Amino acid sequence: MRFGFLFNHYAGHQILHAAPIAFELSRAYPQHQVEIFVLGAALRSVVERVAQRYPGHKVWVHMVEVPLYARLIDPVIKPFAFAKKQAVLDANKALFADFDVLVVPEKTSLKLKREPGLEHLKIVYTHHGAGDRAEAYYPELAQFDLVLAPGPKITDRLLASGLVKPENCAIVGYPKFSVIQSLGAPYPRLPSGRKTVLYNPHYSRRESSWPTMGRAVLEYFRQSDRYNLIFAPHVLLYQRWFRHRARPLGRWRAVPHMHLDTGSDAVLDMTYMDGADIYLGDVSSQIYEFCIARVRQFFSMRGGWRAGKMMTASRCGTRAMWCVRWPISPRHWPKPMPGMAIICPCKKACFKRLLI
């Protein structure tokens, strides 16, 4: 059989969630051909560095063709939308016709199922994360031939919603944990003697703390004499800066105890998650990446906001939250900002059904 893995995106945030599956598949079943397709040289570099963790694999890595018109208009409309994604699918239909299975971490590629000559192609969806956003359970999941999930938390929800059936849903764990810090990204130099806070707002305006309080958070830590801050938002926040209302960060870039990163490799491979003491974020699955090793405690930035039933990470009712490495004494917790309320501690049991 011939398996293809398609990473049809501008940023590399999906690669570490799915590329490990490709490399393990190649090593476990060398009789099958496994190939990875990426959009651009930057993503190819990410894949090749992840590949170094899998000696003996036989995966081929290719860059997909991007039509000239898409390359020309992309710089103009990129702040609003990603033109290349649809263009790549249209330009490479013949390429995918030679494969039996195509594995993708997003729903755009479902378009291929409706293309003549691709009726035989099985399309597999692999989650790029394990967050609790309602949007992660979209109706299009029912169109995939197989859905790969990180754990029972997600499969139970998918089955209960009727989006998948037991026979086309499988638990594969959280592949990203196999390639932590695989990209060689350095940890920033920050003043010693301070606890380091990682602020990781989401890009979705409806679920993100960034539009309403993001700049206030940065200013709070600029004035702090107790904390370092790493600002590392979801990579899409600044990829589509106009659509997501991202703003210039010049005022805070020269602050010695603040490190601002809107899209380097360190954002992708858990470099910041592993080094920070306190996590401040929204609904991203990166909260689980921060919490998985040790018990943490959470604090709400949006007291009074009630989480949906899927918000496992904020089941006490919070949008943006503090997450503190255990054991850090309460005297080291950040001073509450206006509107912040403390919520109850969360134990490891809260996360067991995520991955186990």
What are the boundaries of each domain within the chain?
Answer: 2-179, 195-355
Per-residue pLDDT at 305: 38
**Contacts for 171-176 with beta carbons within 8 Å, 24 or more apart?**
172/21, 172/126, 172/148, 173/355, 174/17, 174/130, 174/150, 174/288, 174/354, 174/355, 175/16, 175/17, 175/18, 175/19, 175/20, 175/21, 176/16, 176/17, 176/20, 176/270, 176/289
Per-residue pLDDT at 67: 86
Distance separating alpha carbons of residues 274 and 278, to the nearest angstrom: 10
Amino acid at residue number 57:
H
Per-residue pLDDT at 346: 42
Question: Helix, strand, or coil here: 315?
Answer: coil
pTM of the model: 0.82
Per-residue pLDDT at 310: 40
How does pLDDT run along the chain (356 residues), one tens digit per residue?
Answer: 999 999 998 788 899 999 999 999 999 999 999 999 999 899 999 999 999 999 999 999 999 998 888 888 877 777 666 778 888 999 999 999 999 999 999 988 999 999 999 999 999 999 877 666 666 677 888 999 999 988 888 888 889 888 899 999 999 988 988 888 888 888 999 999 999 999 998 887 777 888 888 889 999 999 999 999 999 998 888 776 566 566 778 889 889 999 999 889 888 888 888 888 888 888 777 877 887 644 444 444 444 434 444 444 544 333 445 555 444 444 555 554 544 433 333 444 444 444 44
Distance separating alpha carbons of residues 160 and 320, to the nearest angstrom: 27
Strands 296-300 and 341-342: antiparallel
Please give the C-alpha separations between residue 34 and each of 26, 39, 74, 242, in angstroms, as whole numbers: 6, 17, 30, 37
CATH superfamily, domain 2-179, is Glycogen Phosphorylase B; (3.40.50.2000)
Name 228's Cβ contacts closer than 8 Å, sequence gap at least 6: 190, 191, 194, 195, 196, 197, 221, 257, 258, 259
- As a whole number of Å, the CA-based R_g of the chain is 21
